[in-house]
Amino acid sequence: MLFVQVASKFDSEVHLEKDGVRVNGKSIMEVMMLAAERGSEVVIIAEGADEKKAVERLVALINSRFDED
Partner 1 sequence: MQTQGIAASPGVVFGRAFLYGEEELRIVETEIEESGIEEELNRFQEAVEKARREYNEIQKKIAMEIGKEMTRLFDAHLMLLEDAAEETIQRIREERKNAEFTFYQILEKVKSAILSTGNGYLGERTVDIQDVEKRVLRNLMGTKSQTLGRLDCPVVIVARDLTPSDTASLDRRKVLGFATDLGGRTSHAAIVARSLGVPAVVGLGDISRRVRHGDLLILDGIRGVVYINPDQETLKLYQREKERFIQYERELLTFKDLPATTLDGRTVEVVANIELAEEIDSAIYYGAQGIGLYRTEYLYLARSSLPSEEEQYQAYRYIAEKMAPYPVIIRTFDLGGDKLLTGQDTVHELNPFLGWRAIRVSLKLLEVFKTQLRAILRASVMGNLRIMFPMISGLEELRRAKAILEETKQDLREERIAFDENCELGVMIEIPSAALVADQLAKEVDFFSIGTNDLIQYTIAVDRGNERIAYLFNPLHPAVLRLIKMIIEAGHNNGIWVGMCGEMSGEPLDIWLLLGLGLDEFSMSPIVLPEVKKIIRSITYKEAKTVAQRALELNTAEEVEAFIKCMMDEKLCGRFELQ
| 19 near partner 1, rule: CB under 8 A | no
68 DSSP 8-state letter: -
- For partner 1, the closer of residues 30 and 51 by Cβ is 30
The residues facing 43 across adjacent strands are: 17
Asked if 45 contacts 12 with a C-beta cutoff of 8 angstroms, the reply is: no
| 37 near partner 1, rule: CB under 8 A | yes
Torsion sign over Cα 23, 24, 26, 30: negative
| 20 near partner 1, rule: CB under 8 A | no
**Chain positions contacting partner 1, by CB under 8 A:** 1, 4-5, 27-30, 32-33, 35, 37, 69
